[in-house]
Structure 1
Amino acid sequence: MGVSDNKREGKRSARERLQRERVADKAREKRRRALVAGAVVAGVLGLVGAGGLVAAEIGERSEAGAAGPVSAPSGANGDDNLAITVGAQDAPSTLTVWEDFRCPACAQFENAYRSTIHELEKSGELKVEYHLATLIDGNMGGSGSLRAANAAACAQDAGEFAPYHDLLYANQPPETDDAFARNGRLLELADKVDGLRAAPGFEKCVKDGTHDDWVDKSAEAFRKGDFSGTPTVLLNGEAVFPKKGNENITPANLKKWVARANEGKKRGTPGAAGPAAPEAS
């Protein structure tokens, strides 16, 4: 065998060895995931791997906190005061939204339907009840879902939940980038909402995690609910995302569904215009 033949044989052996190592790595990872998944409480939305353990730990912390009072943000309502409502309280229809500030699909929903939802809120046809989850912290690791949800609850205390909520989704980092775990980034975005950063107690609320226990309790309610994932969007209790019955959701269809639900009903007290379109930066 010549020198060139030896080189080719060496390269082939190296490739084969690398392939064997990759197969072995995949097998080890598969076994690891199976072991971890077995440790996670059944039914936690299919969370697996290391993220599943994080979700289980968050759930345990939430259950411990649920035994006593939690620091709900100002104006929170609904079951256990876990909802933040935007729009006229007497609107005839309610859009219930379970979402996670790190969830890409949630951002897609919010950024696509924001103007339609605000239009319906402004006209008194619809109010929206937001429930905050921390699913991506469980799936991917990190704390950006929790930190952003706490900051949004702090914005609720300051009367600026809606614009700050919209701004977070307009500036959502990639799912694997836990940028929202940094309070500095959350406060930087708050600067874009008029008066929010300077609102009494807001910055301290963000830094101290004042509403962390409330977010945990909301996340626990999500895990215990019969939900397939985030976003979960319900119109008067009926799922409308990604479709309602056989019809896919679109801005026009959402308006149509709300109009049908409101037939013969009085509109709610018209509110102020929805927040201006948020900036992405």
Structure 2
Amino acid sequence: MATRSARERIQQERAAEKSREKRRRGFVVGGTALAVLALAAGIGVLAANAGKDEPSDGAAGPVSAPAGAGGKDGLAIRVGAADAPSTLTVWEDFRCPICGQFENVFRDTFHQLEDSGQLKVEYHLATIIDGNMGGTGSVRAANAAACAQDAGKFPQFHDVLYENQPEETSDAFGKNSRLTELAGKVDGLSTQRFTDCVDKGVHDGWVSKSAAAFRTGGFAGTPTVLLNGTPVFPKKGNENITPANLKKWVAEANKGKQPGKAGAPGA
């Protein structure tokens, strides 16, 4: 009986892993059905959430931008060389499951393009899931990510947050203790200064300003991804976004241009 139970458990685990891998492959391949579903999910979240996170704006306090923030109104956190010839603009919510799938699939591609000076990624943080699902995890995680930027550790902490993203309905990121715990996965980030920044919500006002910019920016949902100003998620023209296609699009945009060489804050 025990042997049968163990065997059944192993079979169930294998089936679950196969299911997860199938979903991952579908996203990588960029199948039309999944791409449309991803975009529709983002639109649905935004439509159902319009205005719901506005009350936090008034209570967020003064705007304190993280170190090195740039772009329009100082709302972008850049990863990659400042003089890279192409720019990928990404609007994300750390609680957004499609954002998590997107980042976990494209992470290595982003880093390869950043490290080679071909691409810089400008991250903008949104908080729509808090309004849709309740809780404060989007805001708290965004503030913590901004605190990590102060410490020069944004890219690493950004990746850790998505690698450890809770279920959309869970507000685990709403607990500062969970965020400071995850900081332990980033070498040199777990400091008293970082903990104080997270606990005091030093960048809450900046996060609120970024969230307001997302709401009024005419975006369809998260993630919103633009390459040199052109939308590329879930597709660019008739081509679905995949790691291979993203590399191709960047190469086409950079033809005849020199790769960037300047260092990037937090990189």
Question: TM above 0.5, one fold?
Answer: yes
Query: Following TM superposition, where does structure 1 have runs of at least 4 consecutive aligned residues deviating by more than 6 angstroms?
Result: none
Output the CA distance in 1 between the equivalents of 2:253 and 2:72.
23
Q: Which residue type is aligned with residue 46 of structure 1?
A: A
**How far off is 1:266 after superposition?**
1.0
State the secondary structure of the residue aligned to 2:209.
Answer: helix
Mapped pair 1:223 → 2:215:
yes
**How far off is 1:70 after superposition?**
1.2
Q: Which residue type is aligned with residue 63 of structure 2?
A: V
Q: Which residue type is aligned with residue 210 of structure 1?
A: V
Output the CA distance in 2 between the equivalents of 1:91 and 1:61.
37
CA contact (8 A) 1:148 1:180 kept: yes
> TM-score, with normalisation over the residues of structure 1?
0.75
Q: Which residue type is aligned with residue 100 of structure 1?
A: D
Output the CA distance in 2 between the equivalents of 1:184 and 1:157.
19
Mapped pair 1:204 → 2:196:
yes
Corresponding position of 1:117: 110
* Unmatched 5+ stretches in structure 2: 1-44
* Unmatched 5+ stretches in structure 1: 1-43, 276-281
Root-mean-square deviation over aligned CA pairs:
2.0
Mapped pair 1:259 → 2:251:
yes
**How far off is 1:59 after superposition?**
4.8
Output the CA distance in 2 between the equivalents of 1:61 and 1:265.
46
* Seq. identity, %: 69
Q: Cα deviations across residues 155-200 of structure 1 (Å, max 9, x unaligned)?
A: 00000000000000000000000000001100100001011012x6
Corresponding position of 2:98: 105
**How far off is 1:53 after superposition?**
5.9
The higher radius of gyration belongs to 1
Aligned mate of 1:75, from 68, 71, 82: 68
The aligned length equals: 223
1:1-281 aligned at under 5 Å gives the runs: 45-48=46-49, 54-59=52-57, 61=59, 70-198=63-191, 201-269=193-261
State the secondary structure of the residue aligned to 2:225.
Answer: strand
* 1:207 to 1:59, Cα distance in 2 relative to 1, 3 A: closer
Instruction: Give the structure, 1 or 2, with the largest relative contact order (CA under 8 Å, sep 6 or more).
Output: 2
* 1:53 to 1:117, Cα distance in 2 relative to 1, 3 A: closer
Q: Cα deviations across residues 212-246 of structure 1 (Å, max 9, x unaligned)?
A: 00000000000000100000000000000110010
CA contact (8 A) 1:122 1:270 kept: no
Corresponding position of 1:25: none
> TM-score, with normalisation over the residues of structure 2?
0.79
State the secondary structure of the residue aligned to 1:71.
Answer: coil
CA contact (8 A) 1:123 1:271 kept: no
Corresponding position of 1:33: none
**How far off is 1:256 after superposition?**
0.1
